[in-house]
Amino acid sequence: YIAYVAYPLDLFEEGSVTNMFTSIVGNVFGFKALRALRLEDLRIPPAYSKTFQGPPHGIQVERDKLNKYGRPLLGCTIKPKLGLSAKNYGRAVYECLRG
């Protein structure tokens, strides 16, 4: 199945990429009836994208703070409801925190 969904812009906080993605995707994988889902396209109106200020400083400042160079910087949230055993959940958390 394919679904096309449109949201009115006044639902979203201006300048907040986080708010936009949380509103669109949210916790959809928490729905037990949902077995698979893929976001294939996202179109952001130019007027809304112009409200995004960007980071207050550049990537180099972030790399220096984290002392991580030469690879992508990624963030993650490990949720216990993914069906992992305690051992595998611990391993996933360790790997996430280790970076």
Q: Are residues 22 and 64 in the same domain?
A: no
> Whole-model pTM?
0.52
* Neighbouring C-alpha atoms within 13 Å toward the C-beta of 98: 6
Q: What is the pLDDT of residue 14?
A: 93
Q: Are residues 60 and 83 in the same domain?
A: yes
Q: Are residues 35 and 83 in the same domain?
A: no
Q: Are residues 12 and 31 in the same domain?
A: yes
Please choose, from the candidates 11, 31, 15, 14, the residue with its C-alpha nearest in 3D space to the C-alpha of residue 23: 11
What is the span of the domain harbouring residue 8?
Answer: 1-54
Q: What is the pLDDT of residue 44?
A: 92
Q: Are residues 48 and 13 in the same domain?
A: yes
Tens-place pLDDT, residues 10-59: 899 999 988 888 888 877 767 777 777 888 899 999 999 999 987 788 88
Q: Are residues 45 and 69 in the same domain?
A: no
Q: What is the total count of domains within the chain?
A: 2
Tens-place pLDDT, residues 53-77: 877 888 899 899 989 899 888 777 7
Please choose, from the candidates 48, 45, 46, the residue with its C-alpha nearest in 3D space to the C-alpha of residue 14: 48
